[in-house]
């Protein structure tokens, strides 16, 4: 994938991200994983976790990490610029010329149609991504618990991710030690 392609892809994603960063997930999945096939679903999930855990706007973090993964620092810059160029211009135009844009009847009708669609689009990748995340009957409580913590108890996703990282590190260390203890026995 060339730098120009990267810019164009993120430009497209930026233009159609309506309703915040999460609305970008289905668009990115379609563009980068399905169409261009430059990222696997697993990589996509990894970068998403990273972008969530760090401070800042999720969409821009995503552009940074995907750009970096594909084309290094230059790739990041291209992806970010592509992603925010159009939104910033649109906002500026609105601010300068159409201050009453949101009271417009046509606009509000279009948005009444778009909003439920955005929610459905965000829900759909859950099922596609679940398989690649290694979901099985034994592990399905993990995403369920995460979703419940955030949705029902109002825990910030950041804390959920930070806790996961900590648990992962501890768990990883323990299993590493167990493997070391076991290995000499196996070789004997």
Partner 1 sequence: MFLTLFLTFLKIGAFTFGGGYAMIALIQNEVVVNHAWLTAQEFTDILAISQMTPGPIGINTATYTGYTAVLNAGYSVPCAVVGAVLASLAVILVPVTLMLLVSRLLARYKDMPVVRMVLRLLRLVIVGVIASAALVLLTPDNFGSPDTNTRQFIISLALFVAVFVCSVWPKRQKDEAPQKGLLRRPGPITLLLLSGLLGLVLY
Residues 125-164 that bind partner 1 (CB under 8 A): 125-130, 132-135, 139, 142-151, 156-158, 160-161, 164
84 binds partner 1 (CB under 8 A): yes
Which CA distances in Å does 148 have to 112, 118, 151, 160? 27, 21, 5, 11
Please give the size of the binding site for partner 1, defined by CB under 8 A: 107
CB-nearer residue toward partner 1: 2 or 40: 40
Which CA distances in Å does 162 have to 55, 92, 147? 12, 36, 15
Q: Least Å distance between CB 6 and partner 1? A: 15
Nearest to 14 by CA among 79, 101, 95: 79
Which tokens hold the place of 10?
A: 């993120």
Within 166-185, which residues bind partner 1 (CB under 8 A)? 167-169, 171-173, 175-176
Among 2, 4, 74, 111, binds partner 1 (CB under 8 A): 111
Within 51-70, which residues bind partner 1 (CB under 8 A)? 51-52, 54-61, 64-65, 68-69
Nearest to 50 by CA among 162, 135, 130: 162
17 binds partner 1 (CB under 8 A): yes
Among 165, 178, 182, 183, binds partner 1 (CB under 8 A): 165
Buried b (16+ CB within 10 A) or exposed e, 117-155: ebeebbeebeeebbeeeeeeeeeeeeeeebeebeeeeee
33 binds partner 1 (CB under 8 A): no
121 binds partner 1 (CB under 8 A): yes
Q: Least Å distance between CB 119 and partner 1? A: 5
């Amino acid at each position: 994938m060339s730098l120009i392609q990267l810019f164009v892809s993120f430009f497209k994603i930026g233009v159609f991200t309506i309703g915040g960063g999460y609305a970008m997930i289905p668009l990115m999945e379609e563009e980068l994983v399905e169409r261009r096939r430059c990222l696997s679903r697993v990589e996509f999930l990894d970068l998403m976790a990273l972008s969530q855990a760090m401070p800042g706007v999720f969409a821009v973090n995503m552009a940074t990490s995907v750009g970096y993964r594909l084309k290094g620092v230059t790739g990041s810059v291209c992806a970010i610029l592509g992603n925010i160029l159009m939104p910033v211009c649109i906002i500026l135009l609105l601010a300068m010329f159409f201050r009453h844009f949101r009271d417009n009847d046509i606009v509000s009708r279009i948005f009444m149609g778009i909003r439920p669609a955005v929610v459905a689009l965000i829900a759909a990748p859950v099922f596609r991504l679940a398989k690649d995340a290694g979901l099985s009957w034994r592990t399905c409580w993990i995403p369920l618990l995460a979703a419940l913590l955030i949705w029902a108890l109002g825990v910030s996703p950041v804390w959920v991710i930070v806790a996961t990282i900590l648990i992962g590190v501890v768990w990883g260390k323990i299993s590493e030690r167990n493997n070391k203890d076991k290995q000499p026995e196996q070789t004997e």
